Amino acid sequence: MSAELIRDPREWQRRCWSARVQGRRLALVPTMGFLHEGHLSLMREARRLADAPVLARGQPEEAGQERAGGLALATIFVNPTQFGPAEDLARYPRDLEGDLAKCSAAGIDWVLAPERAGQVYGDGHETWVEVERVSRGLCGEKRPGHFRGVATVVTKLFNLTLPHVALFGDKDWQQLQVIRALVRDLDFGIDVVGMPIVREHDGLARSSRNAYLSGDERRRALALSRALFEARDRAAAGERDAAALVAGATRALVAVGARVDYVEVVHPTKLARVARAETGSRMLLAAFVGATRLIDNAALP
């Protein structure tokens, strides 16, 4: 089956709301497109959850409604409000035709891909969603306004779609915490599913932005995942001092000429910095390789 492309957010809303009323289970994967194996793992899981005989955790059953077939839904929208003025909005990679073929292969039913940002943000848009605590620090500090843009567009996509379940990648760990807080605090009643990071064979986390890397930068970019894996091994061997783990990872990044944005060991959900790495603590890092900013993270054992 091929995925059906819908351009108009209003038509998307009409169709999703009507499907919801009919009792169909809706599983949503929001993306910015230029799809890779990381996105596709979310989409295949969305297909599975849409078809699952029982709703995912925590979903109230819609009593008395007949269950029609579930729908796996994806959105492709390069959201301008989550980019800073000096960031890569204008050159963000795009390939709608290729993306649609990949969505089809992953079992997606409908794809919302607005043609213009103005279809999503109407004239005079003035309402913003701010998730305060977990948006601070890390990418929130380095990219002011980024998570406000993310929380706002995700809120809009949730309202346009009314999904039962929405899937996000652990790759954007802070974003996942922002969305979990958003859903909890604003009573969206959506089951948020976090999916493991999909990596290249050598360890580099899959990212649409990897397309920016030259051959040499691609080799140097390996330092991000290697720094995380080394920190993980050291923690497994008993090193609990977060500062020592951060220093080691920073050295590994600097050694390949990467410009470090941050390296931190944090509480996995609160994202507050910790002095000692406990089980479940997470190392998060961001660094520029050439002009390309990459992020990655890993749980410490």
Find the catalytic residue in 36, 39, 146, 164: 39
- CA pair distance 71, 226, nearest whole angstrom: 38
Q: Is residue 39 annotated as a catalytic residue, yes or no?
A: yes
Q: How far apart are the first and last CA of the chain?
A: 42
- List residues near ligand AMP by CB under 6 A: 31-32, 38-39, 41-42, 168-169, 171-172, 195, 197-198, 205-208
Q: Which is nearer to ligand AMP, 161 or 208 (CB)?
A: 208
For the record, the structure tokens of 62 come out as 């819609």
Q: Which residue is nearest to ligand AMP (CB)?
A: 169
56 class by beta-carbon count within 10 Å (0-12 exposed, 13-18 middle, 19+ buried): middle
Q: Which is nearer to ligand AMP, 207 or 292 (CB)?
A: 207
Q: Which is nearer to ligand AMP, 207 or 281 (CB)?
A: 207
For the beta carbon of residue 97, count every other beta carbon within 10 angstroms. Answer: 9
Shortest reach from residue 111's CB to ligand AMP, in Å: 13
Shortest reach from residue 38's CB to ligand AMP, in Å: 2
Shortest reach from residue 183's CB to ligand AMP, in Å: 14
Q: Which is nearer to ligand AMP, 9 or 38 (CB)?
A: 38
Q: Which is nearer to ligand AMP, 39 or 220 (CB)?
A: 39
Shortest reach from residue 82's CB to ligand AMP, in Å: 9
Q: Which is nearer to ligand AMP, 70 or 149 (CB)?
A: 149
Residue that has been written with the tokens 């279809």 in this structure = 119
Shortest reach from residue 281's CB to ligand AMP, in Å: 20
For the record, the structure tokens of 296 come out as 């990655």
- CA pair distance 134, 83, nearest whole angstrom: 18
Shortest reach from residue 61's CB to ligand AMP, in Å: 27
What residues are annotated to the active site? 39
